[in-house]
Structure 1
Amino acid sequence: MKKVRIIVHGRVQGVGFRFMTKLVADELGITGLVRNEPDGTVYIEATGPTTSIDRFINKVQASPSPSAHVDYCDITEDDSLTVRKKFGVTYY
């Protein structure tokens, strides 16, 4: 089990990024959350099998939304993250 925090920088708000990220997470069996931050970034918590998390990270870095553009991601493994039952979209 791998747990990561991802802060996504770029044009990632108002372009369907959270919705598409949730679809990717659901497809890969990832649990966690995604939310917009006031500074224009998107915050993600993701938990799942290592291979699924690695695939998820690759898809996030490539931007799951065709309208978005990811400049870079800050990725941190964090074993203290809560394991959630599903992947949710939240609001700040």
Structure 2
Amino acid sequence: MQKRLSILVSGRVQGVGYRGYARLIANRYCVTGYASNEPDGRVSIIAEGDELALDQFVTDLYAKDEPLIEVQSIEVSELPYVGEFAHFEPHFGDFQKEMFVRSELALEYMREMLKLQKRSLKTQTDMLDALRDMKKESKKRREVLERMIEAIHSQG
């Protein structure tokens, strides 16, 4: 049975490639329609297709394996089926504005990545220092053991 759904997705879903992600998922399930950004930060989706395909589509819209996308909630309501779409497409707004928003977001992610990299390098340095200390301690113990073995052999 063919159905039409109106879907509102909330969370970190703008400026992170969510509309393109929705298109990939729609193509996987032969779902038609569109996705567009809303002024309130949500993404609005109109989707048409087979009932089973739409159920799977909505499930996959949670984007659980996507590192930049963070879906908090999905509101779904059924509409009368129209059959007006040939494919699924993301709708984009003003190109300059979209690029500016994405650039700003990319800079935020790069800052976070640099912070993580610095923490990681600090941890690696600490681990190397600990390994060097362990090596020195091991060398001292080996020298003590060698002297003990030498003393035992010289007495025997």
Code of the aligned partner of 2:40: D
Q: Per the alignment, do residues 74 and 81 of structure 1 end up closer, same or farther by CA in structure 2, a change over 3 Å counting? A: farther
Matched, 1:43 2:44: yes
8 Å contact kept, 1:15–1:65: no
Instruction: For 1:23-38, list aligned pairs within 5 A.
Output: 23-38=24-39
Distance 2:52 2:43 in 1: 22
TM-score normalised per structure 2: 0.55
Please state how far the C-alpha of 1:74 moved relative to its aligned partner.
1.1
In terms of Rg, which structure is larger? Answer: 2
Aligned residues: percent identity? 34
Q: Per the alignment, do residues 34 and 63 of structure 1 end up closer, same or farther by CA in structure 2, a change over 3 Å counting? A: farther
Q: Per the alignment, do residues 11 and 67 of structure 1 end up closer, same or farther by CA in structure 2, a change over 3 Å counting? A: same
TM-score normalised per structure 1: 0.90
Aligned-residue CA RMSD (Å)? 1.6
Code of the aligned partner of 1:35: S
Q: Using CA pairs below 8 Å that are at least 6 residues apart, which structure has the higher relative contact order?
A: 1
Corresponding residue number in structure 2 for 1:54: 55
Distance 1:68 1:24 in 2: 14
Distance 2:70 2:62 in 1: 9
Question: Whose strand proportion is higher, 1 or 2?
Answer: 1
Distance 1:64 1:26 in 2: 18
Question: Whose helix proportion is higher, 1 or 2?
Answer: 2
> 1:51-76 CA deviation, whole Å, 9 max, x = no partner?
10000000013457431111101110
Corresponding residue number in structure 1 for 2:73: 72
Q: Runs of 5+ in structure 2 lacking a partner?
A: 94-156
8 Å contact kept, 1:20–1:65: no
Code of the aligned partner of 1:60: L
Corresponding residue number in structure 2 for 1:90: 91
Distance 2:56 2:76 in 1: 14
Distance 1:83 1:64 in 2: 31
